[in-house]
Chain A
């Protein structure tokens, strides 16, 4: 029973394509996040949603559009993929902004 699950785990695609990464949490949490880990292993927040509302957008290009159809899901859609988008993307959730975050296993995106 995976608490935070992401699909797909691996994604290889060509430059210019549009792709989506899905995230679901079964913990009943109110807050969900997307983090990006680049090739140098730096983990950085991209977005935060609380009860389906966008709270944080950390100067992410508008080619990245998160969508939260309900509290349990936060999907990440990326348009016009670029080589520099290659990274591991982690979804996470927490009960509230004050509590610990639970992370998914990550989606390794490779743009060729």
Chain B
């Protein structure tokens, strides 16, 4: 699985959009970009995933660059409950395991 690079920490004001970057410059054609988050003392929670196209669901939007070497997770209106560690994971189609890095600790400030 390709390696990902994320900033260790970020801050965002409540109500604003939180934009979390992820670099995956060695991604190959059959690898998906997944995002999970882990709120303190809870299990990881799936957010969104994509291959080439931008994706949106009720939780977030995923913007993948055309060359697929980086992506951005967007939480459109961050709330205090979005404070968590966010993991960007690159996963080969059919691969059973998720390889977690260190993630980005996002703090939403009132």
Contacts and interface: CB of A to CB of B under 8 A. Distances in A.
Interface of A: 4, 31, 33, 41-45, 48, 50, 55-56, 58, 90, 92, 97-98, 100-106
B29 interface: no
Contact of B44 (A31, A48, A90, A98): A90
Contact of B46 (A41, A55, A102): A102
Interface string B4-43: 0000000000000000000000000000001000100111
Given A50-B96, A56-B97, A101-B44, 15 more contacts: A31-B96, A45-B99, A90-B43, A92-B44, A97-B95, A97-B96, A100-B34, A100-B49, A101-B46, A102-B46, A103-B44, A103-B45, A104-B43, A105-B43, A106-B41
Contacts of A48: 96-97
B85 interface: yes
Given A41-B85, A100-B34, A55 B96 contact: yes
Interface of B: 34, 38, 41-46, 49, 85, 87, 93-100, 102
Q: Kindly name the residue among B46, B87, B97 whose own CB sees the greatest number of chain A CB atoms within 10 A.
A: B97
B34 A45 contact: no
Given A41-B85, A100-B34, A33 B97 contact: yes
A2 to B, nearest CB: 11
Nearest to B43: A103
A29 B98 CA distance: 17
Contacts of A58: 97
Contact of A56 (B41, B87, B96, B100): B96
A32 to B, nearest CB: 10
9 tightest Cβ-Cβ pairs between the two chains A and B:
A103-B43, A100-B46, A43-B100, A45-B97, A97-B96, A48-B96, A103-B44, A90-B43, A104-B43
